[in-house]
Amino acid sequence: MVLESLLAYAHFTAILGLVVFLTSEAALCRSEWMNAAVVRRLVRVDLLYLVAAMAVLLTGVARTVWGYKGIGWYWSQPLLHLKLTLFVVIGVLSIRPTLMFARWRKTLAATGALPPEAEVRSARRWVMIEAHLLILVPLAATMLARGVWTR
């Protein structure tokens, strides 16, 4: 039971980190707040978001491998596959803002120019889509934990 608790704790902590960094990106992606420091901060926050996402994935896999229910039970559950699919979709959607942030930093370093307002709005829109899809992951998780649609 101690291992199960520690695995759950590690997974929840990673999830909270992911939410913090995604929320930070959404908060920073506002044209009225955009300045050189924000551009550089967005790149760092996005990197931390990637690290948190990898931690979520690794701790989730650890829970399925070493957790109480075992790998056979978890990987036969449709809701786990739904969670993973959502996670992958969010990851793919995050590529565009990541590339935008990197381009902004490169342009800032080369010319001192800040990103255009339309690009900032576009990046925020992508981040907000990620955030709204992320809300569905804990719904699937709570249903899975309570045996809804399990095999």
User: Which tens digit of pLDDT belongs to each residue from 64-109?
Assistant: 999 999 999 999 999 999 999 999 999 999 999 999 999 999 999 9
Tokens of 83: 């969670």
Q: What is the pLDDT of residue 101?
A: 98
Is position 151 within any domain? Answer: no
Model confidence over 5-27: pLDDT tens digits? 999 999 999 999 999 999 999 99
Q: How many domains does the chain have?
A: 1
Residue 138 lies in a domain: yes
Give the separation between CA 58 and CA 116, rounded to whole angstroms: 37
76 assigned to some structural domain: yes
The residue range of the domain holding 14 is 2-145
Q: What is the pLDDT of residues 62-74, one digit of tens each?
A: 999 999 999 999 9
Residue 128: inside a domain, yes or no?
Answer: yes
* DSSP designation for 32: G
41 domain residue, yes or no? yes
Q: At 8, phi and psi to the nearest 5? A: -65, -45
Residues 6+ apart with CB under 8 A from 105: 39, 40, 42, 43
At residue 147, the pLDDT reads: 95
Residue 111 included in any domain:
yes
Would residue 84 count as lying in a domain?
Answer: yes
**Are 120 and 26 a contacting pair, CB within 8 Å?**
no
Which residue type is seen at 50?
L
Instruction: Give domain status of residue 150, yes or no.
Output: no
- E-state strands within 1-151: none
